[in-house]
Amino acid sequence: DTGVSQDPRHKITKRGQNVTFRCDPISEHNRLYWYRQTLGQGPEFLTYFQNEAQLEKSRLLSDRFSAERPKGSFSTLEIQRTEQGDSAMYLCASSPGRALGEKLFFGSGTQLSVL
């Protein structure tokens, strides 16, 4: 168990650029979540995958955001035409998907700064 891995740890970009983040969940975890956390706030749900299927999306996930999990393993989150309001920490979490109310394992996040 190597934990949930996120890359990069930090990303600085200019407004209008596209960025892509990667999340590698714990091996054999079939559920994967993306959350966004702004300074001084709790994480907010963005989207959720069961294997490769994206089953739920928050209204926070505008059409500039897209997430994929092509083979049911790692996932990517892309933000197109970044805006300053996108500056936040993007957290990924995974879980085995075997029990209700189960524990989520979080990564250390990707901190995005849009200049």
Partner 1 sequence: AQTVTQSQPEMSVQEAETVTLSCTYDTSESDYYLFWYKQPPSRQMILVIRQEAYKQQNATENRFSVNFQKAAKSFSLKISDSQLGDAAMYFCAYRRETSGSRLTFGEGTQLTVNP
Complete DSSP assignment for 39-67: TTS--EEEEEEETTEEEEE-TTS-TTEEE
89 binds partner 1 (CB under 8 A): yes
Residue from 29, 88, 107, 114 that binds partner 1 (CB under 8 A)? 107
Q: Which residue has the tokens 């999306």?
A: 57
Torsion from C-alpha of 45, 77, 111, 23, nearest 10 degrees: 90
104 binds partner 1 (CB under 8 A): yes
Q: Which is nearer to partner 1, 14 or 103 (CB)?
A: 103
Q: How far is the CB of 69 from partner 1 (least distance, A)?
A: 13
Nearest-angstrom CA–CA distance, 17 and 21 = 13
31 binds partner 1 (CB under 8 A): yes
How many C-beta atoms lie closer than 10 Å to residue 16's C-beta? 10
Q: How far is the CB of 35 from partner 1 (least distance, A)?
A: 8
44 binds partner 1 (CB under 8 A): yes
Token pair of 26 as six digits = 């714990």
106 binds partner 1 (CB under 8 A): yes
Using CB under 8 A as the criterion, which residues of the chain lie in contact with partner 1 when the complex forms? 31, 33, 35, 40-45, 48, 50, 55-56, 58, 89, 91, 93, 97, 100-101, 103-104, 106-109
